[in-house]
Each structure stands twice: as C-alpha cells, then as structure tokens.
A and B are shown apart, each in its own frame.
Chain A
Amino acid sequence: MSPQNYTFMFFGFTVAWLIVIGYVISIALREKNLRKELDRVKRMVEEGEQTRR
C-alpha cells in the first residue's frame, strides 16, 4: 500500500475529530453568550419592575 493510504487515513481521523472539537467549541461559545443574554434580560425586567413601582 502507498504511503498516501496512511496519510489519508490520518487525514480522515483528523477531520472527524476537528468537526467534533469545532462543534463542542461552538456550543461552549453559545452557552457563554446565552448566559450573558439571560443575565442582561433579567436585569432589564428587574429595572422595569422597579420603575413601575
């Protein structure tokens, strides 16, 4: 078998892992943004309720 066979095998495994890692990173970033947004909206609601009183 040609050395290209091994190169492409590692290439395939690398791509599979990169997709998994990239997806996990995207989930982590979204989690961070969602938490920030949730805190911001909660503060907005609290401020709105205080103004109403």
Chain B
Amino acid sequence: MRLKIIVTLTAVAGLILAWNLYRIFLQVPDEANQGAIFRIIYFHVPAAITSFTGFYIAMFSAIGYLVTKDLRFDSIAASVNEVSLALASITLCTGSIWGRIIWGIWWTWDPRLTSFFVCWLIYVGYFMLRRAIDDPTARARLSAVLSIFACVDIVLVWKSIEWFRTQHPGPVLEIRGGGGMAPGMEAPLWWNFLALLMLATALILIRTRQETMKLEIDALRRHAHAF
C-alpha cells in the first residue's frame, strides 16, 4: 500500500513538473524588468513554502514525541526535517543565483537572507546533533526540543520581508499582501508547489520507513548483545 502511494505521488508530481517546465519555458513570457531570470521564482518560492510546511509538520511531530514518548513521532520528525532541509537548500542556491543577476551579488547579509541562512544552519545542526547521540530516547528528546525552537526562526524568515525593507523584495504574491502576478504567470508557481509537496510526501514516506528500519536494527542489536 505504502509503495503504491509512493509510486503514485512520484508519478503525478513528475507529470506536473514536466508539464510545468513546458509552460514555464514556452508559454510564460519574460518578466518586463527582470527578463528570463525571473523564472527561478517557480522553484525558489515553492521550495521555500514546502520546506516551511515540512518544518512545521516536524515541529508537531516533535511535540507528539515529547507528549507520548513514541519513537515513531521522532522518526517522522527526522524524515520531514531532512526532506525540508533539502528543499531549503534549493531555495538558498536558486536565490543566490537569482541575486547574482538582479542585484549583481551572490549574497548579502539582508534580514531575509540572513534569517533563512540561520534557519538552514539550525536544521543542519539538528542532524549533527542526531548523529552525535547514540541513545535513541536522548536523541529523540533533544532533537524534538531543537525542532520546536527552530520553528521560531521560521516566523522571523516569513515576517522579515514585512518588518524590514532591504535588499530582498517585499511580498509579491497576493495571498501575502503583495501586488500579485498575472494569473497566467502565477498558476505554474502553485502547480509547482503542489508537485514539490507530493514529491516531498513520497520522499518522507521512504525516509520514515528507513528510520523505522534503523529502530528495528537497534532493537535487534540490543537483542543480539543480550546473548
């Protein structure tokens, strides 16, 4: 059943992404001021929103672990955080490439960029912490606490473009109070978000199963050492 869901999600996500690539490159016109480079928005923004969604799902899962002490919640939190970190890396890299053309620089210590980079570092730290602790319950407890506190930074990242007006542009999408995009230009962005969300779900399902396998291996090892 799980395999069927994974295959279906991946196939549908792949189809949407392929159809969207056709639309983005051949149907959507160049943006008046930025030209072709603006198309990076179709990966940059959906990857950011999907990663934030994932980080919050992981936070609820971390709370679930602290309340129930069930290691399955820890497995879900670790899996979701890992997939979200990969998506956050896409946002960082594509943003930097976009900035190189539009701002003439690869990076600047603007509040949006800095808070996002700090967020990325916190989640890298989350995985370093998990690798450093062998005891599954101590690892789950400490990483759950870090996962919950890391979400505070996501609020800062999200609101930074409203609180500070610096290098990074303010809200663009209408849903965030921006001026909005032409409907024909905005639709592929939301389709890409849906596709990335489906792809992320498929990857999370695979990673959760792997985390369960790790727990099984740990339990069997303890059993073997008892002989």
Contacts and interface: CB of A to CB of B under 8 A. Distances in A.
B90 A34 contact: no
B176 interface: no
B90 A1 contact: no
Given A9-B39, A16-B43, A34 B97 contact: no
A51 B118 CA distance: 53
Given A13-B40, A38-B213, A45 B220 contact: yes
A35 B209 CA distance: 11
A41 B93 contact: no
Interface in B98-116: 98, 100-101
B5 interface: no
B37 A5 contact: yes
A38 B220 CA distance: 9
Nearest to A23: B86
B86 A9 contact: no
Chain A contact residues: helix, strand, loop or mixed: helix
B97 A12 contact: yes
Nearest to A37: B217
A4 to B, nearest CB: 7
B97 A11 contact: yes
Nearest to B21: A13
A11 B100 CA distance: 11
A16 B39 contact: no
A35 B210 CA distance: 9
A15 B94 contact: yes
B89 A19 contact: yes
Interface of B: 30, 34-37, 39-40, 43-44, 47, 83, 86, 89-90, 93-94, 97-98, 100-101, 199, 203, 206-207, 210, 213-214, 216-217, 220-221, 223-224, 227
Given A34-B210, A38-B213, 16 more contacts: A1-B35, A5-B37, A5-B101, A12-B40, A12-B43, A12-B98, A13-B39, A13-B40, A15-B90, A16-B94, A20-B90, A35-B213, A38-B217, A44-B224, A45-B224, A49-B227
24 contacts: A8-B37, A8-B97, A8-B98, A8-B100, A8-B101, A9-B36, A9-B37, A9-B40, A12-B43, A12-B93, A12-B97, A13-B43, A16-B93, A20-B199, A23-B86, A27-B207, A34-B210, A34-B217, A38-B216, A41-B220, A41-B221, A44-B220, A45-B220, A45-B223
